[in-house]
A and B are shown apart, each in its own frame.
Chain A
Amino acid sequence: MAKMHIALRVNNRQVETLAEPRMLLIHLLREELGITGPHIGCDTSHCGACTVDMNGKSVKSCTVFAAQAHGAEIITIEGLAGADGSLHPLQEAFREHHGLQCGFCTPGMITRAYRLLQENPNPSEAEIRHGIAGNLCRCTGYQTIVRAIRAAAERLTSAKEAAE
């Protein structure tokens, strides 16, 4: 199958690669670019383990062709920490509040929560629960994930207020 030239920005880095038209974005990230944070849990866009941020929206990268990401700006879990290596408040809050166990859903969950907090910086518990409904977790029962996202929201909001 003829390959396509695909250029995109991933975690603030310009990358170019050749890929078959049918290649899925998750495979491009994991197999070609070595970005293994996003995981494959279901192949059918139900579990959300493959969630990445594409042009400012959460997408399930198992249901996006790599070709569709041509020219796109992608952020994965690997791109959330600061340039100095400092963790994103969500990453810290997930650890602080025990928002993960086996860790398999965690990259997708945090990446989804990252976008949720851009869309709604001060979400209620119900809004968080609906906001992450596309991301399944088999270990935690979500309670501590919700708590972690709420805590990160508060920290981000107060940091923003302090800066203003």
Chain B
Amino acid sequence: MSAEIESAQARTQKLEGLGTRRKRVEDVRFTQGKGNYIDDLKLPGMLFGDFVRSPYGHARVKSINKDAALELPGVKAVLTADDLKPLKLHWMPTLAGDVQAVLADEKVLFQGQEVAFVVAADRYIAADAVDLVEVEYEELPALVDPTKSMAADAPVLRDDLKDKTSGAHGPRKHHNHVFTWEVGDAEGTARALRDAAVVAKERIVYQRVHPCPLETCGCVASMDKVNGHLTMWGTFQAPHAVRTVASLISGIPEHKIRIISPDIGGGFGNKVGVYPGYICSIVASIVLGVPVKWVEDRMENLQATAFARDYHMTGEIAATRDGRVTGLRCHVLADHGAFDACADPTKYPAGFFSICTGSYDIPVAYVTVDGVYTNKAPGGVAYRCSFRVTEASYFIERMIDVLARKLDIDPAEIRRRNLIRKDQFPYQSALGWEYDSGDYQTALDKALNTVGYAALRDEQRRDRDAFRRGETRKLMGIGVSFFTEIVGAGPIKNCDILGLGMFDSCEIRVHPTGSAIARLGTISQGQGHATTFAQILASEVGIPAANITVEEGDTDTAPYGLGTYGSRSTPVAGAATAMAGRKIRAKAQMIAAYLLEVHDDDLEWDVDRFRVKGAPERSKTMTELAFAAYNNVPPGMEPGLEAVSYYDPPNMTYPFGAYVCVVDIDVDTGVTEIRRFYALDDCGTRINPMIIEGQVHGGLTEALAIAMGQEMEYDEYGNLKNASLLDFFLPTAVETPNWETDYTTTPSPHHPIGAKGVGESPNVGGVSAISNAVNDAFAHLGLTHTQMPHDHWRVWKTAQRLGLTAA
């Protein structure tokens, strides 16, 4: 009975439950090179697929000659749109209600578009064969600037939609128009702007970037012709949704499709969509009767799969003279590329951009978004953010700074005056969201005190004086951002993708010896689900996390779920885990009552066991109850100890945070160094602080990349000029600073354990903090806004424009 005398504290520690800095179980295999990523998979007889891609941004495909390719030894097939037509697979539906060409059907609409699919014995032969496919093109004028998409004389991009006056999201007003989406009070906002003492206006562009996970996208399709089963392994952030979509597209019954996501080398939104490579691999496997692998290379990844952002925003913010915001209006021109392949919930073609009132109590607001087509890659994915939330947050955080300049109020002070107060939660935003919980003032105060904000501003004043006296060529900038995220999509009543409600799930089986397996509808891409979901369960059911296996990603074994993106795993699947755990505990309690011969209500839970109230020496541990569940249950009760929960969240969760960034800019070179970056995050209940800190570090580093250097640059012909890691900026260890992390804890009132999700907050808050700092460095010279990315060249140009350097 030594376990009996162990303190509750000691037993809690053994569980490694909520709040523990538990080491990751995944790392044991990853540090030994024993991960199992898609390109590691090798099946007998497996062939390798590769694409012939368009060199043009916009062209007519006049002919395709595959003879020479087919003559090359080792080449098994060359598929074109004509081959897919009889199967009706040359086009596929996108997640956004549009269609996308699987293989170019008479026209190519962006550089890198899939034109033909070559299947060969190995990747070298496939690459040779790609070069041997002769495609004759007639080049057409390319449209790369979204501001020109809806000009009267703009070229028609989508011949298939030319005469359609409505699309998936309502009326279309031009042949290159995708949708118009509006939300808020147009009249009230117009009135607020008209009557305001001060109105600040700014055009803010969030440039086109790319999630660029270190592993590219890929799959292996294996059609077993004997029993008609399709098994597909791939880099899928939403394996169950892929199964349903694959069934709907291919006509293969859903029960005969098995989708498996193995280890995924980073996703960040890149691996949510369904790409032509997946469809072509399936078709090739069906045609050839053997498994077919397709893995894109880095250039293909940057050219063709999943860009993010490309939001061109015009904002107007109304305020009183003392800086109280009285209204906000925003128009967005959204460049969706050649096909609308965003992965937003169906009813939200601009995602949750309407979170753009941010952390502030703004009485009235109005937003319109026009989506347009251009000759660029499709995508518009939620790159390390909930749907369009980082665009929204960047917009409002810049607008608040622009307003602060106009009113000559300190950026931190103007935020303080407008933050939603603690007593206003749950808070109803002007654009329709109900913020679940927050204590913004405490977070801001803590952040400003920790960094010594007032002293930093004093130092900046002294530095500027020294600069004026010619004693230094550096300018100091201080950026503040206070973001509110909206994550955890989402309640089925307003969130679905292709009609699939955005719930998530967890199924738990407790084994007779007291260990367990939990299976979820999500899939980790580095977030450490196998570690953290076991922690949630450990605290709920009193089984040590070390004795709980977490399994995801196999649609034959895991319960249905919508997958991992938009910071939804903890808010939705984490909730399902807790709820399923509570079902387990409820059944265990009945068994305990039976064994102890007391009423259920006479028992109390104590970390890992039930005790009889008033007689604590009488107890049954979870281990004992697990065994009893298989041999000694109350009369009439089913044996076994299993539970499943499908969790439909009642609301989104609203993580928030206060970030401060300090930069030093050398005006003669434009070199911008981050001297200090402090990030305070409030993600509600903290499951594993070590993993949270890691997520924040990683998200901030991606924010650094976006704010300081990333932009997918197209020339006028539609050539992507930086489609390799030579030209597309990914920070190395040298450019990346040390990040300071901090936190407050405001649990979500509607989540079973109060957790809100954290993975995407640092990207959402980080970009604006860095950009605000760069703008702040020049603010005393009258600058209100410069466009990202703030690379050395652009910063130097800004300094030059302001007369700081010799022309």
A residues sitting closer than 8 Å to B (CB atoms) are: 20, 22-23, 27, 30-31, 34-44, 46-47, 49, 76-78, 80-81, 87, 91-92, 94-96, 98, 100-107, 110, 128-130, 132-146
Contact = CB atoms under 8 A, between A and B. Distances in A.
B124 interface: yes
Contacts of B214: 39, 41, 47, 49, 102, 104-105, 136-139
Contacts of A76: 33
Given A100-B27, A104-B35, A141-B700, A42 B724 contact: yes
Contact of B525 (A31, A46, A102, A137): A102
B122 interface: yes
Contacts of B739: 141, 143
A26 B751 CA distance: 46
B24 A145 contact: no
Contacts of A129: 732-734, 736
B725 A42 contact: yes
Interface stretch (B99-107, B690-698, B790-798): B690-698
Interface stretch (B260-268, B304-312, B402-410): B260-268
Nearest to B34: A37
B697 A143 contact: yes
Interface string B712-751: 0000000000001110001011101011000000000000
A77 B32 contact: yes
B294 to A, nearest CB: 14
A42 B723 CA distance: 11
A102 B732 CA distance: 17
B254 interface: no
Residue of A34, A40, A130 contacting most chain B CB atoms (<10 Å):
A40
A101 B526 contact: yes
B26 interface: yes
Given A102-B215, A104-B265, 18 more contacts: A36-B40, A38-B33, A39-B214, A41-B265, A47-B298, A47-B730, A77-B33, A78-B32, A98-B693, A102-B266, A105-B214, A129-B733, A138-B214, A138-B266, A138-B701, A139-B214, A141-B698, A142-B733
B23 interface: yes
A44 B31 contact: no
7 contacts: A38-B33, A43-B298, A44-B726, A47-B725, A95-B27, A134-B732, A140-B698
Contacts of B289: none
Contact of A95 (B31, B122, B691, B701): B31
B724 A46 contact: yes
Contacts of A138: 212-214, 266, 268, 698, 701-702, 730
B28 interface: yes
A20 B694 contact: no
Pick the most buried of B23, B216, B266: most chain A CB atoms within 10 A of its CB. Answer: B266
**Interface extent on B, as a size class?**
35 or more
B734 A141 contact: no
Interface in B149-203: none
B707 to A, nearest CB: 14
A146 B297 contact: no
Contact of A46 (B26, B216, B702, B726): B726
A123 to B, nearest CB: 12
A103 B27 contact: yes
A47 B700 CA distance: 19
B653 to A, nearest CB: 22
A28 B602 CA distance: 66
Contacts of A130: 733-734
A102 B690 contact: no
Given A138-B730, A141-B736, A101 B32 contact: no
Interface string B122-144: 11100000000000000000000
Nearest to A137: B214
A39 B33 CA distance: 9
A142 B528 CA distance: 17
Contacts of A43: 297-299
Contacts, number: 174
A7 B33 CA distance: 23
B694 A144 contact: yes
A47 B265 CA distance: 13
B630 interface: no
Interface string B254-297: 00000000011110100000000000000000000000000001
B515 interface: no
A50 B702 CA distance: 22
With a 10 A CB-CB cut-off, give which of A80, A101, A144, A146 has the most chain B CB atoms.
A101
Contacts of A136: 214, 725, 730, 732
B250 interface: no
Given A87-B32, A110-B31, A140-B697, A101 B528 contact: yes
Contacts of B28: 95
Contacts of A92: 31
Contacts of B298: 41-44, 47
A77 B27 CA distance: 13
A27 B127 CA distance: 14
Contact of A101 (B29, B694, B724): B694
Given A36-B33, A101-B527, A23 B694 contact: no
Contact of B725 (A20, A37, A44, A133): A44
A46 B725 contact: yes
B33 A132 contact: no
B733 A133 contact: yes
Contact of B691 (A81, A87, A98, A137): A98
Contacts of B738: 143
Interface centre among A77, A100, A106, A143 (most CB of B within 10 A): A143
A30 B726 CA distance: 24
B37 interface: yes
B266 A146 contact: no
Contact of A39 (B26, B39, B268, B526): B39
B563 to A, nearest CB: 16
A109 to B, nearest CB: 10
Contacts of A78: 32-33
B701 A39 contact: no
Nearest to A44: B724
B266 A98 contact: no
Nearest to A41: B214
Contacts of A144: 694, 697
Interface string B28-68: 11111111010110100000000000000000000000000
Contacts of A142: 697, 701, 732-733, 736
Interface string B508-550: 0000000000000000011110000000000000000000000
B24 A95 contact: yes
B526 A94 contact: no
Contacts of A49: 214
Sorted from nearest, which 9 A-B pairs have the closest CB atoms?
Answer: A37-B33, A102-B526, A104-B265, A103-B30, A141-B697, A77-B33, A101-B526, A141-B701, A46-B725
Given A128-B733, A140-B694, A20 B124 contact: yes
B35 A103 contact: yes
A143 B700 CA distance: 11
Contacts of B23: 95-96, 98
Nearest to A149: B733
Given A44-B725, A140-B694, A141-B739, A22 B32 contact: no
Contacts of B215: 39, 41, 102, 104
Contacts of B525: 102
A78 to B, nearest CB: 5
